Chains A and B, each alone.
Chain A
Amino acid sequence: MTTPTSSTGLRIARVLPDLCLLAAMPLLVYSVHRVFMSTPIEQSMGTAFKIFFFHVPMGWLCMLMALISGIAAAVQLRRRSSGAAAVALAAAEIGFVTGLGVLLTGPIWGNATWGKPWTGDARQVSTALLWLVIVAYLLLRHYGPRSSDRLAAALAIFGAVNVPLIYYAVTLWKTLHPSTTVVASLPKEMWMTFWPGLGGLLLVSLGLLGLRIRQLRLADELDAAWVQLEDPPR
């Protein structure tokens, strides 16, 4: 029997993804307006620098989703929780989308600014490697054998642990491949344009995450219902 508090909590949890998406809309509109109308042109990189205001938040969101996936996978293993498994898979999917966004917009920005799509920058390489780990997790969840849920969870945990390891390893690896491209540090007024973009994309990601978790939980419930229908308990 649900208590009034828990049913209110459930109702809030149910509409939270929709609220996130609704809140993201004006924030994104404001962000785009700020980027193109209120932000001065960056001195060394010119107009193409405006890609930065969406490219970098996507990178941060990719790492955040990898961490969420890893933590949820650890909970899944520890508590045998299907809810946590749903969170891990949903976060990995959002991480895939945001990671792909970074890997596509990065070369576009690099081509415009330095004439080279792939500069071998440490952050670029480490994001690419992290994205490969996320893809491996998704492939294992979709094509793995029935018992591979736990294995996939271990993969997600290793992936999350790898986030700082990969970055540090690539920084070390860069000593073999130094590059001459340098991203200028952001002046203070440009941070005021950066945060709304980050906020908007974060709300979109969280909204999509909530929707996907809800779908996965529903799919689990339906599977259980079908099993019980076809093989009712005596």
Chain B
Amino acid sequence: MNEIIPSPAEPVPAAPAGPAAPAGPSPDEYAPVVGISKEDTATLRMLEGKAADKTARDYEHIVWAYGVLWALFAAYGLFLWRRSARLRADMNELQRSLDRR
């Protein structure tokens, strides 16, 4: 209700200084986002690419690390299983010896 409405005679305050907005682009020309230059966008894309590479490389390392851990526990589980099989065979042999007596 109390907001100030500028009179028609008063000029509208200018937007903050920045690079001038280019004229409308032709269809086959690159059209940057308003306020960001071509160079800045190229830098941004390059950094995004680097970040994506690092994330991909990190994920590769993560997969290797988790894979190693599970493989170690699986190997130990296999070791326990084989020992159990050997003990079972030994027990059966003992039972047979007892039955023979």
A: residues with CB less than 8 A from B are: 46-48, 50-51, 54-55, 58, 93-94, 97, 100-101, 104-105, 108-109, 111-112, 204, 208, 211-212, 215, 218-219, 222, 225-226, 229
Q: A97-B76, A215-B80, A215-B84 are in contact. Are A226 and B94 (CB under 8 A)?
A: yes
Question: A residues within 8 A CB of B69?
Answer: 54, 58, 101, 105
Which range holds the interface residue count of chain B? 20 to 34
Given A97-B72, A108-B65, A109-B61: 19 more A-B contacts, CB < 8 Å: A46-B54, A47-B54, A47-B55, A51-B65, A54-B69, A58-B69, A101-B69, A111-B61, A112-B57, A112-B62, A208-B76, A208-B80, A211-B80, A215-B80, A219-B90, A222-B91, A226-B94, A229-B94, A229-B98
Are B65 and A55 in contact, with the CB atoms below 8 A? yes
The total of Cβ contacts below 8 Å across the A-B interface reads 71
Q: List 28 A-B contacts (CB under 8 A).
A: A47-B54, A47-B58, A47-B62, A48-B61, A50-B62, A51-B65, A51-B66, A54-B66, A54-B69, A55-B65, A58-B69, A97-B72, A97-B75, A97-B76, A104-B72, A105-B69, A108-B64, A108-B68, A109-B65, A112-B57, A112-B62, A212-B80, A218-B87, A219-B87, A222-B91, A222-B94, A225-B94, A229-B98
Question: B residues within 8 A CB of A105?
Answer: 65, 68-69
B: residues with CB less than 8 A from A are: 54-55, 57-59, 61-62, 64-66, 68-69, 72-73, 75-77, 80, 83-84, 87, 90-91, 94, 97-98
What separation, in Å, do the CA atoms of A212 and B68 have in the docked complex? 22
Closest 10 A/B residue pairs (Cβ): A47-B58, A112-B61, A48-B58, A105-B65, A51-B65, A108-B65, A104-B68, A97-B76, A101-B72, A47-B55
Closest to B91 in A: A222
Closest to A212 in B: B80
- Chain A: minimal CB distance from B98 (Å): 7
What separation, in Å, do the CA atoms of A54 and B61 have in the docked complex? 13
What separation, in Å, do the CA atoms of A48 and B69 have in the docked complex? 15
Question: B residues within 8 A CB of A58?
Answer: 69
Which among B55, B57, B66, B97 has the greatest number of chain A C-beta atoms within 10 A? Answer: B66
Closest to B86 in A: A219
